[in-house]
A and B are shown apart, each in its own frame.
Chain A
Amino acid sequence: MEFNINRFIALLKRELMVGSRNYLNVIFILLILGIKEVSSILFSLEYNFPLDNGDGFSILIGILTIAVSIQVLRASETKMKSNFGNSILIPASSTEKYLLEFIKVFIVIPVLYTSSIIFLFLIRQYLLTNLVGELPKGFSYLLVIKYQLKDYISILPLYSIVLYFSLFKKQMAILSVVFIVFSVLIFSTLDQLIGGVIAGKTVFNILPYYGTQGFNTFLIIFEVGLFLFFQYLSYLRIKEREV
């Protein structure tokens, strides 16, 4: 494995320069999709309803958000086959290129998503209070971050699968998103079934230590294993991509 920190920093700089517009587009998309999340948090606080995003629909929304964001971040590459070729031929190692993808997908997108939600709450708090009233009691920005972190951990193994499948389709962003979501849903169903067999009943949470299922060591090992396995496959995919 070749890794050079200076080259990696250069790769990050290039990513920011080349994809600045894509990042702005992602922020816009996340702001739109974040409205649903803001509503859920407000609803749960208002009516003292447990906020558990481990159900299938929330997973689907989460996966869709990630899949769309990844594809938008790749817009410069997918726009033309030659740009995709250029990014393959950038003189950096596969490890560095994989780490770049990892940072984009597992750090940048969640941070942007959480920031978008906080931004929406700020708008709600400072610009819309006169129209829709005060924020519910018990609300805090720390709570929002906590919720997001919980959701993030819960879908992490599926997140890993999203990254892997997103590396297949080079063009047709919409088709890619459908392809990713479909693949992830198959895996998530299998995952839930395995969880159900192991835990004795249906498991809606991807990481069963949060939510209603309690803690199950075997499932955690399984989920972490699933995450790492698809990370390794993603690395191989980046290494062996062809135009």
Chain B
Amino acid sequence: MIEINNLKFGYKRNKLVIDDISLHIRKGYIHGLLGKNGTGKTTLLKLVAGLLFPDSGEIKAMGFEPMKRKVGFLSDLFFLPEEFDVYKMSIENYVKTHSVFYPNFSEEDFYNYLEEFEITNKKSKLNSLSFGTKKKVIIAFGLATHAKLMILDEPTNGLDIPSKAQFRKIILRAMTDETTIIISTHQVRDLHNLIDSILIMDEGKILLAANNQEITSKLYFGIEAQPIQTQDKLYSEDTIGGNVFVKENKNFEESNIDIELLFNAVFQNKAKIQSLFPNKKGE
């Protein structure tokens, strides 16, 4: 779906925001792009969407070079920026004026998604809605385009707690084998049970690129009443329920990924993680 080779990009000549990244992003997966603030997540997404041009290296998405902005590429891409403004028009008119550009757009799906988000008045003016509601409308529109590549930058920012659950539900419903969704966030809990593959970025580089199966085959996520004492431990912290930890999965035990623990473990053991997951292309 997306092939990135030796990608470099900087807003200023002497400072790289994306520093020699090579990645393979597979189709049919929901990829979570995680990282601290200012590590280059949004920049990477903009490069993949063709909103920025690489300084060097190459990107191929759905067989297109994003920077060429071919109609075939753009009509199969939906990009939700972190911050956005809406036009002064009703939801109905927004759909009428924008859906024509997306050959696979389904009006029925759009209104179903809106219903799921509990937005019933399609005559509402977009600019009069709250930020969270605007976001829901745009997300519903994006999913109804049935674009093959959906890039969502901090989609859950501004959504209330029930809406975050609705968001996860709708995303899973919209997912097909042909769809690839990349969700960038620093609110890792919002992606719980949603993503199939994790990309962690730091200072313009990829620290980890692996799918869930690969991660749980090499790392074990557990909880004990008391902190465990083992050399395999990568990270642990005390919680009300006990001591949660991540350790190397030398015994091939089964566990569920705790994204927040994984994130902290990666940042505390960069070298170890890189030795455990040497193939940063995430294949």
Contacts and interface: CB of A to CB of B under 8 A. Distances in A.
B83 A89 contact: no
A81 B83 CA distance: 9
Contact of B81 (A17, A76, A82): A82
Contact of B74 (A14, A91, A240): A91
A18 B97 contact: yes
B97 A13 contact: yes
Interface in A78-101: 79-83, 85-86, 88-94
Interface stretch (B50-58, B159-167, B229-237, B245-253): B50-58
A226 to B, nearest CB: 28
Contact of A242 (B51, B75, B85, B93): B51
> Interface residue tally of chain B, by bracket?
20 to 34
Contacts of B69: 88-89, 94, 239
Nearest to B147: A91
A240 B85 contact: no
Interface string B83-106: 111011100010001101110000
State the majority secondary structure of interface residues on A.
helix
Interface residues of A, number: 28
A139 B49 CA distance: 56
Nearest to A79: B85
Contacts of B77: 89, 91
A80 B84 contact: yes
B85 A92 contact: no
B71 interface: yes
A240 B51 contact: no
Given A13-B97, A88-B51, A80 B83 contact: yes
Interface of B: 46, 49-53, 69-71, 74-75, 77, 79, 81, 83-85, 87-89, 93, 97-98, 100-102
26 contacts: A2-B70, A7-B100, A7-B101, A10-B101, A13-B97, A17-B89, A17-B93, A18-B87, A21-B88, A79-B85, A80-B84, A81-B83, A82-B84, A82-B85, A83-B84, A85-B51, A86-B84, A88-B69, A89-B51, A90-B98, A91-B71, A91-B74, A91-B75, A92-B71, A243-B46, A243-B52
8 interchain residue pairs of minimum CB distance = A91-B75, A91-B74, A82-B84, A80-B85, A91-B101, A82-B81, A10-B100, A243-B51
